[in-house]
């Protein structure tokens, strides 16, 4: 290798592993320093701060690197399987390059500490925004954010990777989510959406915790940027040909706050029927299903299935009162149970989500088709639909009836 030449991540990682196994730690460090993404960062390079969050397999800290705020994901390595998971997440992250996907800044891929360094998101994650702060996006915001997520997922799929754990907790907001309302004057280009050229911004990795540490929320305006994150369960796509061997697809860690049982990997409320039945491997179609459940949660503000019971699927809570987790899985698979759609939404929105969570994965659209549908929604349907809703609301007010608004408006409990 020529002096000053940089190494691709995969080549550098393999060379580092060989050097480490031979006890050549200094050589391994030098290889990491020559990688296109630095792989041998040290405690001198990184200033570790307060703990942000903790999972079964890693702890995320606030930190600084070269004077910039970062999130440092420190892995618990107790077995070769743990090390394989770290290497898998590192190589997958390093292969991604899209404004709506969290970027990898650097790493430490040698003992004693194995860490990933990511930018720090200022707006927290989507789950906290929806369910801890009670934020509700306008329809224009929602469709723009849905398009960013779809564009990021399209890129992930384009390089042969499956996310396998799409949910609001794994969507980071680059801006504080403080806007909303029944309508919005934000301008979103339908052509930009349908082509997948949706700018998600850059510079977010792990969301800041809510509360005083996050700083004073700033008005982000109608346009909110986001990034798809957490590739702990992500895996290379498996060829659909041949018999499905569930054991061979168990690569990856446990879902963050999710469902982990035998060969099932994911978070139950966002898992497609074929994954719950274990009749098919994770696929692009199962990622599309999870995306639709996530977007519907954004529209309703309701955790999936938390508003139905066995006896009455339109009231109370599925996980605390009605369905147990096994019963919920059975209802999704055998009875076609799905989250409740918004009570008021553009017809094209409901059609899109219904298509995305079709029972048969072959009938679900690709993310390219999802982006085309979102583009048509923005270009052709949203403005006239919102105008009709405003007119209907004015008529109801004159008649003394309660107004029903959009997902971010008053009087909408999110249910059909």
Rounded CA separation 66/189 (Å): 37
Superfamily of the domain at 126-398: Transferase(Phosphotransferase) domain 1 (1.10.510.10)
pLDDT grade, residue 232 (50/70/90)? very high
Highest mean pLDDT pick, 92-96, 177-181, 389-393: 92-96
Q: What is the pTM of this model?
A: 0.80
State which fold the 39-121 domain adopts: Phosphorylase Kinase; domain 1 (3.30.200)
Rounded CA separation 147/192 (Å): 9
Query: What value does the mean pLDDT take over residues 300-328?
Result: 62
Catalytic site positions: 165
Rounded CA separation 320/318 (Å): 6
pLDDT for the residue numbered 403: 37
pLDDT grade, residue 215 (50/70/90)? very low
Rounded CA separation 361/271 (Å): 12
pLDDT for the residue numbered 210: 38
Rounded CA separation 94/13 (Å): 11
SS3 260: strand
Least confident span in 58-62, 148-152, 257-261, 366-370? 257-261
Phi, psi of 355 (to 5 degrees): -70, -35
pLDDT for the residue numbered 314: 41
CB 346 within 8 A of CB 385: yes
Rounded CA separation 207/23 (Å): 37
pLDDT for the residue numbered 124: 87
CA distances in angstroms from 201 to 11, 117, 118, 133, 195, listed in the order given: 29, 18, 15, 23, 17
The set of residues, in sequence order, having a beta carbon less than 8 Å from that of 289 and lying 6+ positions away, is: 270, 271, 272, 356, 357, 361, 364
Rounded CA separation 31/38 (Å): 9
pLDDT grade, residue 378 (50/70/90)? very high
Query: What value does the mean pLDDT take over residues 333-356?
Result: 94
Model confidence pLDDT, tens digit, residues 118-147: 999 888 899 999 999 999 999 999 999 999
Rounded CA separation 120/340 (Å): 33
Residues in the chain, total: 416
Domain spans of the chain, in order of start: 1-38, 39-121, 126-398
**Between residues 2 and 153, which one has the greater pLDDT?**
153
Rounded CA separation 119/37 (Å): 14
pLDDT for the residue numbered 329: 86
Percent of the chain whose pLDDT exceeds 90: 61
Rounded CA separation 338/358 (Å): 10
Model confidence pLDDT, tens digit, residues 258-284: 443 334 567 889 999 999 999 999 999
**Between residues 188 and 67, which one has the greater pLDDT?**
67
């Amino acid at each position: 290798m020529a002096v000053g030449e940089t190494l691709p991540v995969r080549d550098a990682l393999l060379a580092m592993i060989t050097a480490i196994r031979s006890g050549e730690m200094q050589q391994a460090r030098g290889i990491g320093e020559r990688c296109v993404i630095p792989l041998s960062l040290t405690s001198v390079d990184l200033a570790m701060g307060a703990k942000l969050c903790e999972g079964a397999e890693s702890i995320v800290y606030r930190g600084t690197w070269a004077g910039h705020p970062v999130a440092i994901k420190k892995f618990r390595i107790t077995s070769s399987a743990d090390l394989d998971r770290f290497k898998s997440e590192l190589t997958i992250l390093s292969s991604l390059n899209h404004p709506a996907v969290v970027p990898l800044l650097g790493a430490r891929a040698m003992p004693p500490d194995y860490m990933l360094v990511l930018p720090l998101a200022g707006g927290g994650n989507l789950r906290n925004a929806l369910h801890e702060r009670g934020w509700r996006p306008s329809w224009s915001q929602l469709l723009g954010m849905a398009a960013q997520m779809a564009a990021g997922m399209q890129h992930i799929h384009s390089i042969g990777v499956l996310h396998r754990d799409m949910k609001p907790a794994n969507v980071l907001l680059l801006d504080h989510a403080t806007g909303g309302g029944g309508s919005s004057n934000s301008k979103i280009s339908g052509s930009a959406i349908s082509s997948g050229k949706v700018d998600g911004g850059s510079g977010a990795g792990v969301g800041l915790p809510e509360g005083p540490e996050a700083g004073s929320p700033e008005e982000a305006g109608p346009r909110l940027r986001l990034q798809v994150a957490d590739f702990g369960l992500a895996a290379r796509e498996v060829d659909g040909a041949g018999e499905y061997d569930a054991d061979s697809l168990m690569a990856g860690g446990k879902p963050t706050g999710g469902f982990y049982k035998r060969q099932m990997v994911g978070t139950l409320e966002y898992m497609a029927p074929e994954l719950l039945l274990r009749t098919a491997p994770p696929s692009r179609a199962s990622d599309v299903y999870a995306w639709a459940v996530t977007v519907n949660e954004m529209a309703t503000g309701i955790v999936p299935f938390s508003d139905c019971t066995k006896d009455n699927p339109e009231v109370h809570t599925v996980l605390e009162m009605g369905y147990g987790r096994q019963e919920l899985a059975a209802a999704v698979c055998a009875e076609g149970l799905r989250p409740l759609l918004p009570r008021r939404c553009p017809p094209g929105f409901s059609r899109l989500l219904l298509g995305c969570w079709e029972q048969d994965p072959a009938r679900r659209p690709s993310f390219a088709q999802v982006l085309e549908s979102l583009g048509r929604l923005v270009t052709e349907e949203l403005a006239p639909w919102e105008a009709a809703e405003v007119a209907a609301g004015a008529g109801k007010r004159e008649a003394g009836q309660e107004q029903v608004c959009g997902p971010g408006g008053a009087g909408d409990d999110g249910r059909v």
